[in-house]
Amino acid sequence: MLLLRKRISAPMRRSVLRRGVLAIALAAGALVFAGAAWAAGTINILETGSSLLYPLFNLWVPAYGHVDPGVKITTQSTGSGTGIAQAVAGIAQIGASDAYMSDALMKEHADMLNIPLAISMQMVNYNLPGLNRRHLKLSGPVLAGIYQGKIRYWDDAQIRGLNPGVRLPHHLIIPVHRTDGSGDTFIFTQYLSFSTPDWANSISYGTTVSWPAVSGELGAVGNPGMVTATKDDPYAIAYIGTSYQNAIERDGIGIAMLKNRSGHFVLPTATTAKAAAAVMVPKTPKDQRISLIFAPGVDSYPIINYEYAIVNREQPSAEMAAALRKFFNWAISPRGGNAPHFMAEVHFVPLPAPVAKLSAAQIAQIQ
């Protein structure tokens, strides 16, 4: 996939990118949305990529239909890696991604913009019979140990040490991970890398990583696949975007408290996300490619993230460029797509005003 682990060489990344983009372009040859679409007075826009952003886009699209009836937006949940690839290839007008494009990719594709649309969070979830209503405490090093196969049982001393007084079962842990190119994998493995030197030095982070072989592990496609695997497999553990928190709560799956950089255990809430964002927003560069993971602060939730639209600043028609600018400006507005009712439904946090200003500056570059 496009955003490979940082220890892979730049020439290899370029080779993988060329092969991936070519394969996707060939496979998508039958799509009617290739390039700009302008027919019968309707502009057709294809959005594809992040399954974490997918629920939000599906709230936005019908609402935006009342704002601009001349624009039809089609959404596809294909994973962040595919979203980036199809935006780069010109197959999709909007590549939705939880991961920003790497320096190497930006060097090869300087016309691409990485535009934050909102701030998301990622949960760590588990299906532990009798304990799903408790918020177990977990840390980056413990999660790294689980996904490396070094911590195999739920009553391991390291897990018990974080959860005194909790009667944990002596049962094998079933780690669940994404098998598609995933921005969720990108931000989860960043948390492991930034909190656990051993993980950083051996596996690192990316939209795809070489997961260590662990007995009983499961792979799943998309956030919906992660929810299903966790629900259907007692003793499973997984990382899932908060846009699926309603499904998690409906299915009675546990939500962990995660250890942050200050050593405090916090839940993924609007308050803890805003605390982390307050620390990181001033560090956001003009191109807005930055990790918000493992922010300092007593109340900071450790896995928050900008949700990106990957867009080419050079569009094939003035009509398409104008349609994209209008939609994105609506999406980042607190009176439009960043309105509280949209954010609350997917458990996202709206863009702080300084970030929205930076996003607007990038949107203005679309021509």
Tell me: do 143 and 265 sit in the same domain.
Answer: yes
150 confidence band (pLDDT: 50, 70, 90): very high
Cβ atoms of residues 354 and 290 within 8 Å: no
Supply the pLDDT for residue 185: 98
User: Smallest Cα–Cα separation from 101: which of 2, 216, 202?
Assistant: 2
Supply the pLDDT for residue 36: 38
pLDDT above 50 (res 1): no
Tell me: do 259 and 332 sit in the same domain.
Answer: no
pLDDT digits (tens, 9 = 90+) for 298-351: 999 999 999 999 999 999 999 999 999 999 999 999 999 999 999 999 999 999
Q: Which domain holds residue 27?
A: 10-118+306-363
Maximal CA-CA distance, the chain:
66
User: β-strands 112-126, 304-312: how paired?
Assistant: antiparallel
Tell me: do 74 and 140 sit in the same domain.
Answer: no
Tell me: do 127 and 262 sit in the same domain.
Answer: yes
Supply the pLDDT for residue 51: 96
pLDDT above 70 (res 30): no
Burial grade of 251 (CB within 10 A; 0-12, 13-18, 19 or more) = middle
Whether 283 is in a domain gets the answer no
pLDDT above 50 (res 43): yes
Tell me: do 96 and 233 sit in the same domain.
Answer: no
227 confidence band (pLDDT: 50, 70, 90): very high
Whether 208 is in a domain gets the answer yes
Q: Angle 318-331/54-67 helices, nearest 10 degrees?
A: 110
Number of domains in the chain: 2
* pTM (global) more than 0.75: yes
pLDDT above 50 (res 233): yes
- Round to whole Å and give the CA distance between 75 and 61: 8
126-347-260 Cα angle (round to 5):
60
Whether 349 is in a domain gets the answer yes
Supply the pLDDT for residue 324: 98
Tell me: do 106 and 164 sit in the same domain.
Answer: no
pLDDT above 90 (res 35): no
CATH number, domain of 255, equals: 3.40.190.10
pLDDT digits (tens, 9 = 90+) for 247-271: 999 999 999 999 999 999 999 999 9
Supply the pLDDT for residue 41: 76
Supply the pLDDT for residue 234: 98
Whether 326 is in a domain gets the answer yes
Tell me: do 222 and 134 sit in the same domain.
Answer: yes
Q: Which of these ranges, 26-40, 72-86, 99-113, 176-190, has the smallest mean pLDDT?
A: 26-40
Q: Which of these ranges, 7-21, 228-242, 261-275, has the smallest mean pLDDT?
A: 7-21
Buried b (16+ CB within 10 A) or exposed e, 138-174: bbbbbbbbbbbbebeebebeebeebbeeeeeeeeebb
Domain closes at, from 278, 294, 321: 278
Tell me: do 145 and 225 sit in the same domain.
Answer: yes
Whether 24 is in a domain gets the answer yes
Tell me: do 46 and 62 sit in the same domain.
Answer: yes
Whether 203 is in a domain gets the answer yes
Tell me: do 14 and 149 sit in the same domain.
Answer: no
Whether 39 is in a domain gets the answer yes
- Round to whole Å and give the CA distance between 208 and 2: 9
User: Smallest Cα–Cα separation from 295: which of 282, 308, 307?
Assistant: 282
Percentage of the chain exceeding pLDDT 90: 89
Domain closes at, from 261, 278, 295: 278
Averaged over 152-160, what is the pLDDT? 98
Tell me: do 89 and 209 sit in the same domain.
Answer: no
Whether 284 is in a domain gets the answer no
Domain closes at, from 278, 294, 324: 278
Tell me: do 179 and 38 sit in the same domain.
Answer: no
